[in-house]
Structure 1
């Protein structure tokens, strides 16, 4: 018999679920949504994985068999006058008879010809001050074959040491500031580049559907990167779902924008050369390359905003365990609006910085602003930027809403155990 001062318990069917039950339900729902998406991405990668023996370039005649790239150290330079070419045409349309050119004297430091003294012509924009003695360069060695004499040609500067030093500094700083989470983020970044190099690029060359390549690779990359850097948790899964949704939006908007603006992906000399190298389907492949680039360009910023929004909502829930999911959503969106403003600037100025040489050329030619912005080259960047920005903006309320519902279902003790999320991706 129940004592008069004790509350009568509710029937089991009417009992309100506790935090553990709510978290379990949220985990189950997230798993049921994410598992098919990630499984589809993995299956898509397996079905579209390019089959290649590594000799595509040689079969197509793009790579000269026997050509060797070796390093060399500059021992001197000699300025001369050379006959001009069409590329030396001046802004007024005239072409000089002769132009200054630079011959570089160097000693080979790698390969079978190590220790040999050679001479190569530098690229037209270089002067003697750009190539002082001791500069390390990369040269191409064409052995004598079929009656053709042996040839040495300038390739590029040897930048391995400074780049490796800067990369090492990046790893050290990341590890010192972000700890093991930062190290795991770097490992995830390396794995992402492996996917791009081994799957996306060969797939584009093989003529696979570019949107399928981009979406499958992006989904797998994000799953690996997020879980590796932030661990398996409801918070990370929420951010992953928001990221995948944003990627689908970016891909759809990019495709619609490309169709509406009649973007073919071919706007520069390099684009047309690539189309020729890709064969009969080169024109269609270039459009696919553009769409693939739209999705991949949105990958980083989407990852940034979704993990930050999820973390913000979880922290709000930890500070106020009695907050409703509506209150968590409202508070998260206040943070999200600030994030939207700053991220839009980041996207816009990143593209502006990358396009600065083209902007300078258009400024020199004096083309009208309207004609400049609607030209193929700029239209591509505008569509890429706006598609990424719209997808990013819509991903923020979506991620915040999911995070609010899931965080509200989690017990306060679990929230405290999962605190300490960083902003390292």
Structure 2
């Protein structure tokens, strides 16, 4: 289907991203999956190509273009190429809005140049060992001590956690029991601060090239100047940015599923069983037809949501619908595609096998499917 959401400049940018992937990412990705991490210079190379940091104002070395359709292009092409290693989507779609929307002039001067150039890698610490999707249950604490905050606690499942130079840490800054959602602030913890340590690079079933870590904070003294946004407004800052993050996951879900479908279609046309192509069996045709139709329909809704986001009109409910439906659809598609590959689908040398494990996290991070349904249900007044 022809998509109307993109314009000529987005198509040109897509070619740049594809070229960068072919030259700098795809040839090395298998080794990165074995290593469990991407070399830091990959971020610098991406910045030079304009693949990351394009939202940052030109005075800080960025492209000065805030158009989420560019983010979508990067997300789609990396998902289509199964290039899950570099945390560029986290860099562009999650971290950048916090810095551009919340940083004061002094913070922008300190942080944006390194962010735009890829010299500094960022992460965000929300999830804790005992909280999962329950952000209101965060226990990492920060107490004021003169011109510093003293941070103690732990975070887990942190993407870019090993490579990160700076981490946006969600901490409880108001310990009073009735503080509710007004108890949290965002603090920037930096590499080398005393008491800030990293655990192991977590061994996941998928996204093997993406470093994902446990982070520990013991009496870490964070300068008051590293408070991002307003004190005790951290939860509201998170809620403001989460719809955009969920759209990013939805975009990657459909792009990844479509790429797996396209490869599977070609495979079933060439693979024979009982003297005829697998695709020629009626059941196979029906399965392929169902997937193609569902992906097309989902893409239309997703592009509508993307258009709303670009206009500043996307709601949290629309983002929740997009996130849960597309990520669940991706699960169904990769499972069906693996089945159509037969035994070969179970082999990691085939992209569908890696897609099967890589995709499994999509219904979990950024808010589980159950949380997304809760958001939609509450909006219905039930």
TM normalised by structure 1 equals 0.28
User: Which protein has the larger Cα radius of gyration, Structure 1 or Structure 2?
Assistant: 1
Question: Higher strand fraction: Structure 1 or Structure 2?
Answer: 2
